[in-house]
Structure 1
Amino acid sequence: MDSQAHEALRLLIAAYEEHLAAILARRGDADVAVDDAYDSLADAFDRYEAVLDVEYGETLPMLLDDLEMEDAGDGEGDEEDEDDDGLDPHAGEDEDALDDDLDDFQLR
C-alpha cells in the first residue's frame, strides 16, 4: 500500500524535473515558465512536508524562502519576526538542552 507520502514525494520529484526543464528552456530573465515552475516546486515541497508531518510527525531539514509570500500576504513589508531564526524546529534546541538529553539517556 502506497502512502500519501510516497505520492507527494513522486510529485515533488516531478516538480524538480519540470523546474529544471523550464530553466534549461528559459527565454530570458523574466520567463514566466520558470516562475511558474518555481511556484509549482514550492507548492509540491510544502505538500510533501505537510504529509510527512501528518503521517510521521517529521519535517525536512530545509526551509523555503517565504519572504515573497509573507510580504504579499501581510502588507507589513520586510519586518522579520525576531523569534524566527530560520531554523528547522529540530534545530531549535540549545547546546545545554542537548547536553542534558545526553546525560538523561546516558549516551556519553
Structure 2
Amino acid sequence: MSIDPRAALSALTTALEEHLIAASARRGEEDPIVEATFLGIIDAFEVYEEALFDAFDEVTPLVIYGEDEAGFDDDDSGEALDDDLDPIDG
C-alpha cells in the first residue's frame, strides 16, 4: 500500500512547523522536544520521498545528513564548512 504524496507532504509540513514551535520554546541545548521534532522531520521526509517516488518515479533534491555528515567544523561551532556552501548551478 503506497501513501498519497499529498498526505505525506502535509505531514512533512506539519513536522517542520512542530520543529519551529519547539525550537522557539527551547529549554536548553539538548531539549528533548526539539530533538524529537528534529527526528520527526527526518521520518516525515523519508515517507514523503518514498511516496513521491512510488507515485511519480520522482525524488526531491534534498538529502538527510547523519551526525558525521552534517557539514560542520570539527570544533562544533555550528559554522558550515566553505566546501559545503557551493551554489547550485541553474
TM-score by length of 1: 0.58
Offset at 1:67? 4.5
Aligned length: 66
**Which residue does 1:23 correspond to in 2?**
23
Give the drift of 1:32: 0.4
Identity %: 35
Structure 1 runs (4+) greater than 4 angstroms displaced: none
Quote the residue 2:7 is aligned against.
Answer: 7
Instruction: Return the offset for 1:24.
Output: 0.3
Note the C-alpha offset of 1:62: 1.1
1:65 Cα offset (Å): 0.4
Q: Hey, what does 1:48 align to over in structure 2? A: 48
2:63 is aligned to 63
1:44 Cα deviation from its structure 2 partner: 0.2
Q: CA deviation at 1:66?
A: 2.9
User: Match for 1:35: what amino acid?
Assistant: E
Unaligned 5+ segments in structure 1 are 69-108
SS in 1 for 2:27: coil
Letter of the 2:55 partner, please give it: E
CA deviation vs aligned residue, 1:16-69 (integer Å, no higher than 9, x gap) = 00000000010000100000000001000000000001110000101000346x
Instruction: Name the SS of the counterpart of 1:26 in structure 2.
Output: coil
Does the alignment pair 1:35 with 2:32?
no
Q: Following the alignment from structure 1 to structure 2, what is the Cα–Cα distance between the partners of residues 64 and 19?
A: 16
Report which structure shows greater RCO (CA 8 Å, sep ≥6): 2
Distance 2:12 2:51 in 1: 12
Gaps of 5+ in 2: 69-90
Return the structure number with greater helix share. 1
Match of 2:13, as an amino acid?
I
